[in-house]
Amino acid sequence: DIQMTQSPSSLSASVGDRVTITCRASQGVRNDLAWYQQKPGKAPKRLIYAASSLQSGVPSRFSGSGSGTEFTLTISSLQPEDFATYYCLQHNTYPRTFGQGTKVEIK
Amino acid sequence: EVQLVESGGTLVQPGGSLRLSCAASGFTLSTYEMNWVRQAPGKGLEWVSYISSSGKTIYYADSVKGRFTISRDNAENSLCLQMDSLRAEDTAVYYCARRSGLDIWGQGTMVTVSS
């Protein structure tokens, strides 16, 4: 199985900060990588697909990069509605595997 | 509006069975690959199962293999997850999600396995 190691597990940041979350795959997944945002009590919402493509309707302050084994999600200027937990997902092989999640909290 | 709605979650005793359903609106479910994903209380996301659009290709997580069965009823535009021999560790919110890239998710249905 491919392991997805996400870091950090949590972070504190202020509104307006630039935030970067990293996901590392234990073996190459090409660009078959997605990022999700989840708020308490809600379903995950896909932000980024194919490692760097922005899902329709998602603000442009979100961006993704990487290929192979190293991926990043960047929020260029954190907004109050961005405080949530973020997950990466590899969909290159089965079983699909998620990162452990990164909780973004208010500083 | 494209939407998925899960149902069937409830409290069940260890060793019991439960059948979850996922209904689609705004699109024809029969033309899409589908997945089940779960999330235990306070924990991360765990992929559970996949079924191809034809139903001929199916995958399961090792944690549920031999106990859970995914199926689809294309005539009813729905997806099912039959869960047998349930354990406490199966307690979770269960989501259905569309496509191999999990683009659209339902709101989830809670399954609690407890005596």
Mean pLDDT value of segment B3-7: 97
Q: What is the pLDDT of residue A106?
A: 87
pLDDT of residue B4 exceeding 90: yes
A14 to chain B, closest Cα gap in Å:
24
Give the count of Cβ contacts less than 8 A between chain A and B: 49
Of B59, B61, B107, the CB nearest to A43: B107
Over residues B37-46, mean pLDDT: 98
> In the predicted model, is pLDDT for residue A70 greater than 90?
yes
Distance of alpha carbon B80 from alpha carbon A83, whole angstroms: 33
Sort residue A102 into left (φ over 0), alpha (ψ -120 to 50) or beta. Answer: beta
Lowest mean pLDDT among A18-22, B26-30, B78-82: B26-30
- Interchain CB distance below 8 Å, B103 and A49: yes
Contact A43 B108 (CB under 8 A): yes
Q: Using an 8 Å CB-CB cutoff, list chain A residues near B47.
A: 89, 95-98
Q: Considering all CA atoms of chain B, what is the largest pairwise distance in Å, rounded to the nearest integer?
A: 39
Task: Map tokens 């089940």 to a residue.
Answer: B36
Cite the beta strand spans of A39-79 per DSSP E: 45-49, 53-54, 62-67, 70-75
For tokens 């191999």, name the residue: B100
Is the per-residue pLDDT at B77 higher than 90?
no
Number of Cβ within a 10 Å radius of residue B25? 11
Q: Do B105 and A44 make contact, defined as CB atoms within 8 angstroms?
A: yes
In whole angstroms, what is the distance from residue B34 CA to residue B31 CA? 10
Residue A76, pLDDT score:
98
B74 has a pLDDT exceeding 90: no
Shortest distance between the Cα of B74 and any Cα of chain A, in A, equals 23
Mean pLDDT of A4-33: 98
Distance of residue B57 Cα from the nearest chain A Cα, in angstroms: 12
Which chain A residue has the Cα nearest residue B110? Answer: A41
- Nearest in space to B70 (alpha carbons), one of B96, B91, B47, B50: B50
Q: What pLDDT does B56 receive?
A: 95
- Banded model confidence at residue B7, pLDDT cuts 50, 70, 90: very high
For an interface test with B, which of A32, A52, A58, A96 has the most B Cβ atoms less than 10 Å from its Cβ?
A96
Say if strands B58-60 and B3-7 run parallel, antiparallel, or are unpaired.
unpaired
Q: Give me the torsion for CA of A68, B103, B70, B59, rounded to 10°.
A: -10
Q: How far apart are the C-alpha atoms of B53 and B67, rounded to whole Å?
A: 22
Any idea which residue has 């359903």 for tokens? B21
Mean pLDDT in residue range A17-31: 98
Q: What is the pLDDT of residue B75?
A: 83
Residue B70 in this model has a pLDDT that exceeds 90: yes
Instruction: Decide if B106 and A46 are in contact by the 8 Å CB cutoff.
Output: no
Helix (H) or strand (E) holding A18: none
Residues of chain B contacting residue A95, judged by C-beta atoms under 8 Å apart: 47, 59, 61-62
Q: Which residue has the higher pLDDT, B114 or B77?
A: B114
Q: B57: pLDDT confidence band, cut at 50, 70 and 90? A: very high
pLDDT at B107 over 90: yes
Q: Which residues of B70-99 are buried (b: 16+ CB within 10 A; e: fewer)?
A: bebeeeeebbbbebeebeeebbbbbbbbbe
Q: Do A89 and B45 touch (CB under 8 A)?
A: yes
Residue B17 is predicted with a pLDDT of 98
